[in-house]
Structure 1
Amino acid sequence: MTTLNRLVLWNIDHTLVDVGRVTREAYAEAFQRVIGRPLVRLAPTPGRTESEIIFETLAFNDVVTTDDHLPAFTAALAESFAARRADLKAHGRVLAGALEAVSAIARLPDTAQSVLTGSIEPNAVLKVTELGLAGRLDLDVGGYENGVYSKAALLELARTRAGEKHAVRYPEKATVYVADSPRDVQAAHIAGSPIIAVASGSATEAELRSAGADVVLSTLADTDAVVRAVLELTQDR
């Protein structure tokens, strides 16, 4: 039996990587395939799950939704993303300090780390794999969009999966979420876990502090600051 007792969960988009161009292109293709006409407006994405983005995008584009739209759009989005695997390397980028931060957390004792993302699993795995982060993350226990759960519920699901895999219990307060939007801060609060908010997305440091983040960083570039925050938020818990 292992003795892992700390879990770090990373949001992917705008926290670890920027693949906005590929995402927009994949959504446009999926919309065309499912709806049969060009996408005019894509819904805002920060802090949202794929299903939230899809339903709001359909509404923005005057589509009356049915029960069939979400599974059809999700399947088309996965296929569109997979077809752009090479584009992830060509047009995507790892954000400043992300690789170093993930690598440093991987070296901490008694620590497991994975992802907690609004993306569907195949797309999330493609992003971190093609941009060189997957080897440091336990993707088997991640929380991914599945059309049912909120991000707060996905955080709890990731805790459960990690606990089952490593045969230990990860308390709520020993599970740190690292993300970039006020909606992510809210999800962590609902799940009872501390959050490190990084102003690498569309939210400012002031907005993240106002949302109630436990720690706010401008970027992940200061690796020592990231590690220190993780350790301080999980000590004596």
Structure 2
Amino acid sequence: MRRLVMWDIDYTLLRGGGVASRAWKAAFTEVTGVPWRDEPIFGGRTDLDICGGVFASHGVTDCAPETFFARYVELVGAVRHKFAEQGALMPGVREVLSHLGDRPDVVQTLVTGNVPEVAVMKVTAFGLAGSFDVEVGGYGTDDSVRATLVRRSLERARAKYGELFRPVVIGDTVNDVTAALANDAAAIAVATGATPAEELIAAGAHVVLPDLTDLEAAIKALTG
């Protein structure tokens, strides 16, 4: 049985330098006409979940998420070159992706809170798009609950390839870990974001790595 390795993006694969969050705020004010006055916690949450929370905290009740996301994607698209200029890949990422990409027993995809268009823009900015089968990913517009994104990705992979997979989730937040566990997936965590390793361990991660610079340890965790 092949492994479906589901990568989180932000602070697991890369950091985007705040490009997307600035576009988010600008899109919100443009679409709703309401000045931005909140600062939600983005880490590990889906864009659909964040959108609902932001609308509620600003008293907005008459704006469909689809309208907001359409403008948000447009604004990110206009500045997508800035991801590579203002952000960076996380340590060891390119080497791990390349190694897994050479293995016939692994399919790599994205399971991320980002909307699909922004997810693709982020990885494309760093030349990583070819590493992932984005068609079978799970994205922030699929559901507000992170665990559902993992399930959707598994369903898409099974439908496309006609086979069952061993699911492996890799991310940097407690939400990534709990989403993996809810789907009986291997939960691999990297302490490259804001969540300390101790919290990732306490959440039930099967393996916690400081980062991906130790290629042997990373490959063992993701395929062992």
Q: Could you say which TM-score interval applies, normalised by the shorter chain?
A: over 0.9
Q: Which runs of 4+ in 1 moved over 3 A?
A: none
The alpha carbon displacement at 1:72 in A equals 1.6
CA deviations 1:55-110 (Å, max 9, x no partner) are 222333x22324x3312211111111111112112112111111111111112231
Of the candidates 110, 114, 121, which is equivalent to residue 109 of structure 2?
114
- In the alignment, which of 134, 138, 141 is matched to residue 133 of structure 2? 138
Aligned partner (choices 54, 58, 65) of residue 57 of structure 1? 54
What amino acid maps onto 1:164 in structure 2?
Answer: A
Structure 1's 27 and 149: CA in aligned 2 closer, same or farther, altered over 3 A? Answer: closer
Q: CA deviation at 1:188?
A: 0.8
Give the counterpart letter for 1:72 in structure 2: T
Equivalent residue, structure 1, for 2:183: 191
Q: How many residues align?
A: 224
Asked if residue 227 in structure 1 is aligned to residue 219 in structure 2, the reply is: yes
Q: Is 1:82 aligned to residue 82 of structure 2? A: no
* Partner residue in 1 for 2:158: 163
Identity of aligned residues (%): 35
What TM-score does the superposition give when structure 2 sets the normalisation length? 0.94
Tell me whether 1:15 sits opposite 2:7 in the alignment: no
- The offset of 1:226, in angstroms, is 0.8
- CA 1:136–1:198: 2 relative to 1, 3 Å: same
1:73 counterpart (60, 68, 75): 68
Alpha-carbon distance between aligned partners in 2 of 1:143 and 1:186, rounded to the nearest angstrom: 15
Range with bigger deviation, 143-152 or 29-38 = 143-152
96, 99, 110: which is aligned to 1:101? 96
* Structure 2 segments unaligned to the other structure (5+ residues): none
Partner of residue 235, structure 1: none
Which moves more between the two structures, 157-166 or 223-232? 157-166
- One-letter code of the match for 1:217? L
- Post-superposition Cα deviations, 1:103-145, rounded to whole Å, max 9, x if no partner, equal 1111223111100011111000000011111111111111112
What SS does the corresponding residue of 1:7 show, helix, strand or coil?
strand
Q: Is the 8 A contact 2:4 2:107 kept in 1?
A: yes
TM-score norm. by structure 1 comes to 0.89
- Quick one: which of 20, 41, 44 aligns to 1:44? 41
Measure how far apart 1:149 and its partner are.
Answer: 5.2
Q: Secondary structure at the match of 1:65?
A: coil
Find the residue that maps to 2:122 and give its secondary structure.
Answer: helix
Quote the Cα distance in structure 1 between the aligned partners of 2:125 and 2:44: 22
Unaligned runs of at least 5 residues, structure 1: 233-237
What secondary structure, in the 3-state scheme, does the structure 2 residue paired with 1:85 have? Answer: coil
**Aligned equivalents of 1:74 and 1:42: distance in 2?**
18
In structure 2, what residue type is equivalent to 1:211? A
